Amino acid sequence: MTPTGTLDALLVEQRVFRPAPATIIEANVKPHDLAEATALAAADPLAYWEKAALELEWHRKWDAVLDDSDAPFYRWFPGAQGNIAHNALDRHVHAWTKNKLALIWEGEAGDCRKFTYFELYREVNRLAGALRALGVTRGDRVCLYLPPIPETVVAMLAAAKIGAVHVFVFAGMSAKVLRERINDCRAKVLITADGFYRGGRLINLKTVVDEALAGVRSDAAETVVIVRRSGDDIDMQEPRDLYYHDLLRQESPEAATEIMEADDPLFWLHTSGASGKPKAVIHGHGGYMVGAHHTFRTVFDIKPTDIHFCTADPGWITGHTYGVYGPLLTGATVILYEGHPLYPQADRLPSIIERYGATIFYATPTLIRMLMRYGPQYPKKRDLSTLRLLGSVGEPLGAEAWMWFYKHFGESKCPLLDTWWQTETGMAMISPMPISVLKPGSVGKALPGIDADVVDAAGHSVPPGQGGFLVIKKPWPGMLLGLEGDAAGYVSTYWEQIPGLYFAGDVARRDEDGYFWMQGRADEVLNIAGHRVGTAEVEAALTSHRFVSEAAVIGLPDKIKGEVAKAFVIPDPGWVEAFADADAFGAELRSHVRRELGPIVVLRAVELRDTLPRTRSGKILRRQLRAEELGEGVEGITATDD
């Protein structure tokens, strides 16, 4: 790996936002708690995480907090036994949360279903019983190809409850991807739906399933359980296909919870594939549960009265950790929305916030920028005064979108938590807390117990302000247990790039206050005349221009400078009146970037686009833009993900 260069701290953000006194008074983690937690975590990280583990119920306590004898195959809470479903569900039935709403679901057409913890518990038990009757046992894989509907949450928990491993395939994936994943995991059962609503259309999932299963290996997906959601006419193949509701009808609302070892797998989840072939990441019952619970309670500052609206599909890690497990582990109420965020118009999400009184709204930069393009009149139409926290995850948000979201959704009162983490980390790692001083565009500091740093290729910390590789220096409970079937890949991808440290694959810098600024993926960094420039920085400079709503930047080979930048820009409609033509607009953007970042960042070309290529989870596919630009095959880039 090449060392990072000298061009750093290009765009220095000066604005800071301080928490309101009431936020500090009411926070679960107040300044003195944070100071105490930080001190404990620094002095004795294992004691810190042990304390976090004690917030949950275990069938048997651990023999040690961490077994690092086979590093980097770290094992958290060895000897401990329990089940995440016990903590997410069973224990609420014996607590005051029993009759509290666990889940509020809204269909795209406006239909609504609500489940208390007790109701969810009964439904999960019935599916757990049905899966057992189908022969699913501990360690078996259950593949989920489901849209955002209540049964999706039920299916995840039912699999967990009987000790099976859920392998979620996002419902937007193709038959080919579904087939590969069913084959790879040799799923005993596939749980899916007839269809669902998205963007005003009925999407028929079952036809995709039929196509996928046509070429599937004979010992996989012998049974397909189909949730009736759309009522569409589907082709039922006897005896393989069974309706979910028929299956559950005779089942008991009670089912035993399998007692699992802490490092028994809970789920496999493929990475998004933004910068490489998707990898199947494994998370387990123990450490992941501690990480999800602890961060949701402290970072999202969850209170009994909270209603958490997570816009991520349950099929991504954000949906797994902060749409399902985190909220249920803490006894919160979570909102799940089935449909398109702009359907029937751009106030749909604000309208959901208003109607259910959501208190926390966790979204993605892609979504925020999309809403921004439609304008503030949409959030303004709705009463968003119940909100008390905002969150973002998945890509660099950038200062402009940060300010817009803060102002128009949070009325400049709600702390905006830009949380940095990954499928692999399982839990938020670097993020502000509600009591933090916020800097627009920064993901804040590492959370207590997380030893994050910015280093050079040899693993030495670089000085504040300088760019480098983001690493995690100590294991953390939510960390992946490994990559399925690829122990060597786990070691080489995450632990050998920078010897002995967890390499996240991102580049970042840290400022004098310890705040992290994400600069993009390491394999997408530009090298202009020996200066290494993160894509995120050039993109943030571009989106700070009032006529740019989104931007993607790639490097192009250049004889003299090594590389120069090319930008793909989704313009704000107003540019047409403001500029004579696209060339004039492009010239303005080139000088804007020069003004913002200095003359080193040479922006060779600007191309206007209506859309940018994205992964299914919404991340910009810069690899594809680059391959197209260089006339290279894009085969293998989208193929893994379409």
Residues that bind ligand WT7 (CB under 6 A): 271-272, 317-318, 393-396, 418-423, 443, 504-506, 518, 521, 617
Report the DSSP pairing between strands 548-558 and 452-455: unpaired
DSSP class of residue 414 equals S
Shortest spacing between CB 234 and ligand WT7, in angstroms? 31
Nearer to ligand WT7, 420 or 476 (CB): 420
Residue pair 444/431 in contact (Cβ under 8 Å)? The answer is yes
Q: Quote the tokens at residue 437.
A: 């001083």
CA angle 8, 12, 16 (to 5 degrees): 140
Shortest spacing between CB 419 and ligand WT7, in angstroms? 5
Residue pair 310/319 in contact (Cβ under 8 Å)? The answer is yes
User: In sequence order, which residues have a C-beta less than 8 Å from that of residue 247 and are 6 or more positions away?
Assistant: 127, 130, 225
Nearer to ligand WT7, 192 or 422 (CB): 422
Nearer to ligand WT7, 423 or 543 (CB): 423
Shortest spacing between CB 130 and ligand WT7, in angstroms? 31
Task: State the Cα–Cα distance between residues 452 and 468, nearest whole angstrom.
Answer: 12
Q: Quote the tokens at residue 451.
A: 């030893």
Nearer to ligand WT7, 9 or 40 (CB): 9
Nearer to ligand WT7, 272 or 311 (CB): 272
Shortest spacing between CB 498 and ligand WT7, in angstroms? 15
- Strand runs labelled E in 89-244: 101-106, 112-116, 141-145, 165-168, 189-193, 195-198, 201-204, 223-227, 241-243
Shortest spacing between CB 428 and ligand WT7, in angstroms? 8
Termini Cα distance of the chain? 30
- Strand runs labelled E in 445-501: 452-455, 467-472, 482-483
Shortest spacing between CB 388 and ligand WT7, in angstroms? 20
**Residue written as token pair 């998370």:** 283
Nearer to ligand WT7, 125 or 431 (CB): 431
Q: What is the dihedral of CA 238, 239, 245, 251, to 10 degrees?
A: 160
Closest CA to 618 of 323, 363, 351: 363
How many helices, marked H, and strands, marked E, lie in the chain?
21, 30
Shortest spacing between CB 518 and ligand WT7, in angstroms? 4
Nearer to ligand WT7, 406 or 420 (CB): 420
Closest CA to 642 of 313, 176, 198: 176
Nearer to ligand WT7, 423 or 436 (CB): 423
Shortest spacing between CB 431 and ligand WT7, in angstroms? 8
SS3 call for 349: helix
Nearer to ligand WT7, 48 or 421 (CB): 421
Task: State the Cα–Cα distance between residues 160 and 89, nearest whole angstrom.
Answer: 11
Q: What's at 87, amino acid-wise?
A: N
Nearer to ligand WT7, 91 or 181 (CB): 181
Cβ neighbours of 204 (radius 10 Å)? 17
Shortest spacing between CB 393 and ligand WT7, in angstroms? 5
Shortest spacing between CB 346 and ligand WT7, in angstroms? 23
Closest CA to 166 of 274, 313, 321, 315: 315
Nearer to ligand WT7, 257 or 535 (CB): 535
CA angle 496, 501, 504 (to 5 degrees): 85
Shortest spacing between CB 536 and ligand WT7, in angstroms? 7
